[in-house]
């Protein structure tokens, strides 16, 4: 215990200590924390549908019919009708032969990479990929080559270097939307590269699912290459407002995971309320109401980023609803986040190891349900706080 205390004191001293904030009430865009009302600017509930009556009612009905828990892992007796129905729906949504649910995005990425790859295989992984992909690469025992962020020329060069000693499968893995920078992977060019090199492409669309593309099918749809992606990973806990994650892919890939993926096999399946509400979320996403929410989100994103850019802030090339504001050092970043909190705006500061040293940031996320007025006001407050800190 003493050693942990000492290590925690070390984190305090460098502004690296993390702690939890308890949300008392609300699904956003306003929440109650510490007895005050805050504008929520750091939720991944982008469409604002986590508390939508259709999702809530679906969850309640499934709980009434099936109970609170599933009772077992998927291969025992924990595959319920609502899990199977959602998997079929997700395969349709992504245009693949099959799909498989995981209990979280973290479990999905570790489970997909571990289940599909082995020591003879080679993974090419973007330098800014999510931590769960990095951990999945480790668990897979495949050799992993990290390529500079979204750098196609560097990736191609690495492939040329690796070609002579090629043994097994090659897999390129990338976030569709990068979770801390809010930029998009160059998916069409990655498709060209993987096809030219007999490799597979896996896209983690945690932040694109439900949100991007004309039908909400994600970054692949937005960039016009949905049907060329081999492995579509996505989460249900962000844009879709529920929990859990999935892989949509070929029947062979899915059946392999059912047989080999340890996070899939050795864990109790999602409670029935989750797939039932995710089904309702997909209905919503594919409806006219979903299209309106995506339009509102895009309008909000544009006016928020425009106001910050005019204010002279560095948004690190964001082109989605994830809007980072570069602030560099951890202590200053957390002080800015605290100051904004006191002014009624909840936006988290992000520090290493989530982002590289010296690249701390305020990571704001826009929701479809924010009003333009409150976003412009928040952007002004952020601009002022960042500028004050710079002088």
Ligand X SMILES: *Cc1c(COP(=O)(O)O)cnc(C)c1O
User: Which are the catalytic amino acids?
Assistant: 179, 207, 238
Question: How far apart are alpha carbons 117 and 121 in whole angstroms?
Answer: 6
Q: According to the binding rule CB under 6 A, does residue 105 interact with ligand X?
A: yes
Of the pair 52, 363, the CB lying nearest ligand X is at 363
Q: Pick the closest to residue 311 from 259, 362, 350, 352 (CA basis).
A: 362
Query: How many chain residues interact with ligand X (CB under 6 A)?
Result: 14
Q: Are 278 and 244 in contact (CB under 8 A)?
A: yes
Rounded to 5, what percent of the chain is helix, strand, coil? 45, 20, 35
Q: Give the shortest CB-109-to-ligand X separation in angstroms.
A: 6
- From the list 29-37, 58-66, 102-110, 183-191, the region that binds ligand X by CB under 6 A is 102-110
List residues bridging with 175 in a β-sheet.
204
Contact with ligand X (CB under 6 A) among 45, 82, 209, 235: 235
Q: Give the shortest CB-102-to-ligand X separation in angstroms.
A: 8
- From the list 57-65, 103-111, 248-256, 369-377, the region that binds ligand X by CB under 6 A is 103-111
| CB burial string 285-317: b at 16+ within 10 A, e below | bbeeebeebbebbbebbebbbebbeeeebebbe
The alpha carbons of the chain give a radius of gyration, in whole angstroms, of 21
Q: Give the shortest CB-90-to-ligand X separation in angstroms.
A: 14
Question: How far apart are alpha carbons 184 and 166 in whole angstroms?
Answer: 29
3-state secondary structure of 364: strand
- From the list 99-107, 219-227, 246-254, 306-314, the region that binds ligand X by CB under 6 A is 99-107
Q: Are 183 and 150 in contact (CB under 8 A)?
A: yes
Q: Give the shortest CB-339-to-ligand X separation in angstroms.
A: 26
Both tokens assigned to 50: 């986590």
Q: According to the binding rule CB under 6 A, does residue 359 interact with ligand X?
A: no
Contact with ligand X (CB under 6 A) among 110, 125, 132, 327: 132
Q: According to the binding rule CB under 6 A, does residue 296 interact with ligand X?
A: no
Q: Are 188 and 194 in contact (CB under 8 A)?
A: no
Both tokens assigned to 278: 């995710």
Q: Are 219 and 203 in contact (CB under 8 A)?
A: yes
Binding track, positions 140-179, relative to ligand X; x by CB under 6 A:
-----------------------------------x---x
Q: End-to-end alpha-carbon separation of the chain, Å?
A: 41
Contact with ligand X (CB under 6 A) among 46, 93, 106, 170: 106
Q: Give the shortest CB-170-to-ligand X separation in angstroms.
A: 21
- Please list, in sequence order, all residues whose beta carbon lies within 8 angstroms of the beta carbon of residue 49, skipping any fewer than 6 positions away: 55, 240, 241, 281, 284, 293
Both tokens assigned to 273: 């309320």
Q: According to the binding rule CB under 6 A, does residue 206 interact with ligand X?
A: yes
Contact with ligand X (CB under 6 A) among 237, 241, 263, 349: 237
CA triple 113-267-126, angle to 5 deg: 20
Q: According to the binding rule CB under 6 A, does residue 350 interact with ligand X?
A: no
Contact with ligand X (CB under 6 A) among 45, 104, 277, 320: 104
- From the list 188-196, 202-210, 257-265, 340-348, the region that binds ligand X by CB under 6 A is 202-210
Q: According to the binding rule CB under 6 A, does residue 126 interact with ligand X?
A: no
- From the list 98-106, 253-261, 296-304, 332-340, the region that binds ligand X by CB under 6 A is 98-106
Both tokens assigned to 251: 């029947």
- Segment 244 to 263, residues that bind ligand X, using CB under 6 A: 245
Q: Give the shortest CB-76-to-ligand X separation in angstroms.
A: 23
Both tokens assigned to 67: 């109970």
Positions in the binding site for ligand X (CB under 6 A): 104-106, 109, 130, 132, 175, 179, 204, 206-207, 235, 237, 245
């Amino acid at each position: 215990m003493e050693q942990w205390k000492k290590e925690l004191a070390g984190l305090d001293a460098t502004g690296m200590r993390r702690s939890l904030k308890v949300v008392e009430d609300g699904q956003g865009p306003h929440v109650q924390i510490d007895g005050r009302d805050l504008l929520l600017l750091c939720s991944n509930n982008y469409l604002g549908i986590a508390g939508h009556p259709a999702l809530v009612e679906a969850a309640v009905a499934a709980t009434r019919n099936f109970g609170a828990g599933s009772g077992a892992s998927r291969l025992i007796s924990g595959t319920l009708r609502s899990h199977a129905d959602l998997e079929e729906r997700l395969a349709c949504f992504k245009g693949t032969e099959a799909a498989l649910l995981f209990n979280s995005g973290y479990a999905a990425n570790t489970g997909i990479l571990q289940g599909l790859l082995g020591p003879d295989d080679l993974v090419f992984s973007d330098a800014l990929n999510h931590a769960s992909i990095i951990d999945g690469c480790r668990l897979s025992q495949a050799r992993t080559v990290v390529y500079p962020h979204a750098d196609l020329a560097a990736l191609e060069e690495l492939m040329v270097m690796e070609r002579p000693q090629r043994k097994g499968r090659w897999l390129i893995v990338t976030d569709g939307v990068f979770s801390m920078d809010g930029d998009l992977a160059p998916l069409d060019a990655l498709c060209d590269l993987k096809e030219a090199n007999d490799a597979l492409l896996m896209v983690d669309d945690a932040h694109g699912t439900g949100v991007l593309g004309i039908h909400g099918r994600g970054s692949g749809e937005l960039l016009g290459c949905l049907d060329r992606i081999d492995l579509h990973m996505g989460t249900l806990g962000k844009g879709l407002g529920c929990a859990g994650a999935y892989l949509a892919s070929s029947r062979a890939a899915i059946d392999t995971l059912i047989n080999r993926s340890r996070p899939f096999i050795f864990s109790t399946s999602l409670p029935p309320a989750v797939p039932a509400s995710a089904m309702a979320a997909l209905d919503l996403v594919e409806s006219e109401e979903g299209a309106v929410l995506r339009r509102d989100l895009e309008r909000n994103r544009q006016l928020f980023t425009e106001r910050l850019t005019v204010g002279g802030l560095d948004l690190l090339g964001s082109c989605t609803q994830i809007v980072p504001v570069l602030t560099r050092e951890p202590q200053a970043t957390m002080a800015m986040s605290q100051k904004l909190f006191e002014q009624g705006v909840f936006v988290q500061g992000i520090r290493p190891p989530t982002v590289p040293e010296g690249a701390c940031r305020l990571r704001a996320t826009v929701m479809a349900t924010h009003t333009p007025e409150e976003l412009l006001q928040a952007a002004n407050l952020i601009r002022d706080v960042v500028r004050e800190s710079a002088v």
